[in-house]
Amino acid sequence: MSAALQNLVNQPYKHGFVTNIESDIAPKGLNEDIIRLISSKKNEPEWLLTFRLEAYRRWLNMIEPTWQNVKYPKINFQNISYYSAPKPKKKLASMDEVDPELLRTFEKLGIPMHERAALAGVAVDVIFDSVSVATTYKEKLAEVGIIFCSISEAVQRYPELIRQYLGTVVPPGDNYYAALNSAVFTDGSFCFIPKGVKCPMDLSTYFRINTEESGQFERTLIIAEEGASVSYLEGCTAPRFDTNQLHAAVVELIALDDADIKYSTVQNWYAGDENGVGGIYNFVTKRGLAKGRNSRISWTQVETGSAITWKYPSCILRGENSVGEFYSVAVTNHHQQADTGTKMIHIGPNTRSTIVSKGISAGQSNSSYRGLVRITPTARNARNYSQCDSMLIGSQCGAHTFPYIQVQNNSAQVEHEASTSKIGEDQLFYFAQRGIDAEEAVSMIINGFCKEVFQQLPLEFAVEATKLLSFKLEGSVG
Amino acid sequence: MINANSKILLEVHDLHATVSGAEILKGVDITVRSGEIHAIMGLNGSGKSTFAKVLAGHPSYEVTRGTLLFDGQDLSALAPEERARAGIFLAFQYPVEIPGVANNQFLRLAYNTVQGQRGEEELDPLEFDDFVREKMKLLKMNPDFLDRSVNEGFSGGEKKRNEILQMALLEPRLALLDETDSGLDIDALRIVANGVNQLSNKDNALILVTHYQRLLDYIVPDYVHVMEAGRIIRTSGKELAQALETHGYDWIHTNEQITGALP
Ligand SMILES: Nc1ncnc2c1ncn2[C@@H]1O[C@H](COP(=O)(O)OP(=O)(O)OP(=O)(O)O)[C@@H](O)[C@H]1O
Ligand SMILES: [Mg+2]
């Protein structure tokens, strides 16, 4: 059994190819001039340049965090190019004018976007490297007052909204990578759902890193006003390279009274080869502010890619009765390392949070759950339920759980459950004896294990995630 | 039912097998023709389950000598899932639990895989649900077991019944039931035995591993074998089981005259 399975594990990364589009790349290195260059390339207002420069100055005085349970060589931040954009031949008015090479890339990735959009009723704001090249369904959304565009465009068209909200949930000096992002972010998505509007379709963005050694620094901002609701989908695939690429995104969500934001991610960036060479370093700060009464922020993530994942989508539950949710599946194989989890900060009374984390480790990989539940003195009757399950495939991988619980109000109810299981040879043999091969068996066991999380995903995403997991783990047992 | 002209389904000759370096099977010989029912008895640790697992192709066991032919085909060339698809079924002595995997999904996948292999129609979830419920009636199983995880938290007897349900779904050509009777209550034993009898016909064959005559009252074997220290040391008709029940295994060594009718 092992030999056949071994072959499966070693399948090449399906999305590993480079699109040959002439890129407009900034010289390597980071300094105030580069930041000024980015800002002027993007024709930004003065206040935004100031925001960037202040972030940069803070970053210079910060030190790279080392508390996470991951190991990697020191990153040389001066060896990264901080800006790269595909050069459009002329200004794009419609999809037909998008570089065909680019369209082929989407094709290879299995996201023929117009089709996908039409079939699934999804508006796709496609981000290619750092510049948004096409946006569909914008008008349809605009009819109900929804703004869904790249953040660069939003800076030009809705500067007041950006100025009002940018950096309010993740302040520029929040942490090392957030500061770096605030200084050099190039693009990302902006969503604004006005008062009382339920977004009629899932909003979806596919990110893709395309230029070797161009760190990508996305910035996403989503605002749901009173009574508004939105479901946002983020999917990522990246081509393979042998040098590690840094990715440090910041995502901020703001939900006002009775608003509801659901943010789903399937992350499948290049994880490095089976020897641990190459792969994306994914250092992400994602945080939602449940600001209003009865507001809800829900994170669902399926993390299968990247050489290193460092990511803690969090909720600040400030509004009375507000709700925070975190549903996560993190898969590591070969030499991947993941340190991921969440923070639930309960501030308002009657706030509730749910954490469901499923970690799957195979190969020589290492996966850690790290979560903080903090009940502050003002959070009367706050409740939290956490469940952290780990599954080990093979005997050379590791799973770790680091729950931090801080309760400062004795009316709080906090529950934590954890389990570790293993896919055993006898389980696989049982499947095999019924005619089911190891590949399908693993996929079935894993899907069962992840069920509670997959149920949170929109259907087509769940299907994609299921496939992706099977693909990632094919033959990792044996 | 013995018919010397029926086709040989299983032919095992001088089978030796090891697990973690220890030789457990030390020259097993057995021939099973279609239509036959065989019982294998023997002391704890004599190698009965090992034989079952070797036959099914468990990766921890290594065949070091001898031949293992199924329907004329050398089994050593087949992966365990291929053996299953070819029609070999093992009802486990200790069925494993598979948390998180719904029994109905598991059963359907197994069923469709085997159907697909035979070039027969696969069933969608709704069709399969009707189909499997019928089979469960035969075994008087509560349909609630469909929604639970495979074997998880099942009682000993419930696990055994779930094994026979799978046998009923997969309709194997050769089924080896490893102590399916242990853990079954008196009523369940009768129900399961009835189910097995209904599945038995002239084109398939059955090997029952058991410690008790009780099961053999319901499913009457054509041959009874005694295994000891990794070999089949005695083969006879159904009366051998009764004699063993009365006299115990030691009696075999003091009483050689029953060896008579070898197949
Ligand atoms: N992994 C192993 N390493 C060493 N010895 C093993 C291993 N697995 C099984 N054995 C030994 O092989 C022998 C045969 O075991 P087996 O399970 O086949 O017996 P059995 O005849 O089915 O017994 P029972 O009637 O109790 O079910 C036993 O002595 C057992 O301890
Ligand atoms: Mg046994």
Query: Would you state the pLDDT for residue B15?
Result: 97
Q: Rounded to whole angstroms, how far apart are CA atoms A88 and B31?
A: 75
- What distance in Å separates the CA atoms of residue A70 and residue A279, rounded to the nearest whole number? 14
Specify the residue for token string 């595909």. Answer: A86
Return the DSSP state at B143: G
Mean pLDDT of the region B119-139: 93
Please check whether residue B4 touches A, CB under 8 A: no
| Ligand approaching nearest to the C-alpha of B42 | 1
Closest chain B C-alpha to A424 CA, distance in angstroms = 10
Q: What single-letter amino acid sits at A109?
A: L
The answer to whether the Cβ–Cβ distance between B96 and A449 falls below 8 Å is no
Of the candidates A4, A430, A438, the beta carbon closest to that of B96 is on A430
* pLDDT of the residue at A22: 53
Which pLDDT value is given to residue A98? 58
CA A126/CA A135 separation, integer angstroms: 6
**Closest by alpha carbon to B93, among B62, B58, B65?**
B58
Shortest CB distance from B80 goes to which of A432, A445, A447? A432
- Ligand 1 site residues (CB inside 6 A) read B 19-20, 22, 24, 42, 44-50, 93
Q: State residue B201's pLDDT score.
A: 93
Residue pairs spanning A and B at CB distance below 8 A:
76
Determine the average pLDDT of the residues in B172-199. Answer: 94
State the nearest Cα–Cα gap between A440 and chain B, in angstroms. 9
Instruction: Check A433 against B114: CB less than 8 A apart.
Output: no
The predicted model gives B180-200 an average pLDDT of 93
What does the pLDDT read at residue B219?
95
Q: Does B109 touch chain A (CB under 8 A)?
A: yes
Name the nearest CA neighbour of B105 among A441, A475, A392: A441
Q: Indicate the pLDDT class of residue B256, thresholds 50, 70 and 90.
A: low
* Nearest alpha carbon to residue A136 among A146, A145, A149: A149
B105 interface with A at CB cutoff 8 Å:
yes
A404-409 long-range contacts (CB < 8 A, ≥24 apart) are A404/A370, A404/A371, A404/A372, A404/A373, A405/A372, A405/A373, A406/A372, A406/A373, A406/A374, A406/A375, A407/A373, A407/A374, A407/A375, A408/A374, A408/A375, A408/A376, A408/A377, A409/A375, A409/A376, A409/A377, A409/A378, A409/A379, A409/A380, A409/A382
Instruction: Report the residue of chain B nearest A446, measured CA to CA.
Output: B100
Q: Which residue of A has its CA nearest to B175?
A: A433
User: Measured between CA atoms, how close is A442 to chain B, in angstroms?
Assistant: 10
Query: Shortest Cα distance from B215 to chain A (angstroms)?
Result: 24
ipTM value for the complex: 0.95
Assess B98–A contact: CB distance below 8 Å, yes or no.
Answer: yes
pLDDT, residue A50, reads 97
Tell me the ligand closest to B229's alpha carbon.
1
CB B87 within 8 A of CB B173: yes
- Tokens for B66, please give them: 């001898």
Task: Compute the distance between CA of residue A44 and CA of residue A22 in angstroms, rounded to an integer.
Answer: 24
Whether A452 contacts chain B with CB within 8 A: no
Confidence band, pLDDT 50/70/90 cuts, at residue B230: very high
DSSP 3-state assignment of B22?
Answer: strand
Q: Find the residue in B nearest to A443 (Cα).
A: B101
d(CA B117, nearest CA chain A) in Å: 9
Q: Does B138 touch chain A (CB under 8 A)?
A: no
Q: Which residue has its alpha carbon closest to ligand 1 atom 27?
A: B44
Please report residues of B whose CB lies closer than 8 A to that of A435. 81, 84-85, 110, 113-114, 117, 170
Nearest Cα neighbor of A314 from A354, A349, A341, A352 is A341
- Interface check for B114 against chain A (CB to CB < 8 A): the answer is yes
Per the model's pLDDT, the better-predicted residue between A141 and B256 turns out to be A141
Of the partner residues B81, B102, B149, the one whose CB lies closest to the CB of residue A432? B81
Give the three-state DSSP class for A47. Answer: helix
Taking the CA atoms of A157, A160, A163 and A166 in sequence, report the sign of the dihedral they define. Answer: negative
Atom 28 of ligand 1, nearest CA residue: B45
Percent of chain B with pLDDT over 70: 97
CB contact under 8 Å between B79 and A437, yes or no, is yes
B143 close to B136: Cβ distance less than 8 angstroms: yes
Please report which confidence band the pLDDT of residue B153 belongs to, taking 50, 70 and 90 as the band edges. Answer: very high
Given CB atoms, is B123 within the 8 Å cutoff of chain A?
A: no
Whether A427 contacts B98, CB under 8 Å: yes
CATH architecture of B8-95+155-261: 3-Layer(aba) Sandwich (3.40)
Q: What is the model's pLDDT at position B133?
A: 96
pLDDT exceeds 90 at position B138: no
Q: Which residues pair with A123 in a beta bridge?
A: A203
Other beta carbons within 10 angstroms of residue A91's beta carbon come to 6
* Domain residue limits, chain B: 8-95+155-261
Per-residue pLDDT of B155-180, as tens digits, reads 999 999 999 999 999 999 999 999 99
Task: Give me the residue label for tokens 């200084």.
Answer: A183
A199 C-alpha to ligand 1 centroid (Å): 62
Question: Mean pLDDT for each consecutive 10-residue tract of chain A (478 residues)?
Answer: 39 52 72 92 94 96 85 85 61 56 54 41 46 54 88 93 97 94 90 94 61 66 97 70 76 98 88 81 94 98 87 97 96 88 97 96 89 96 96 87 94 94 90 93 89 84 74 66
Give the tens place of pLDDT for each residue, B58-68: 999 999 999 99
pLDDT for the residue numbered A137: 63
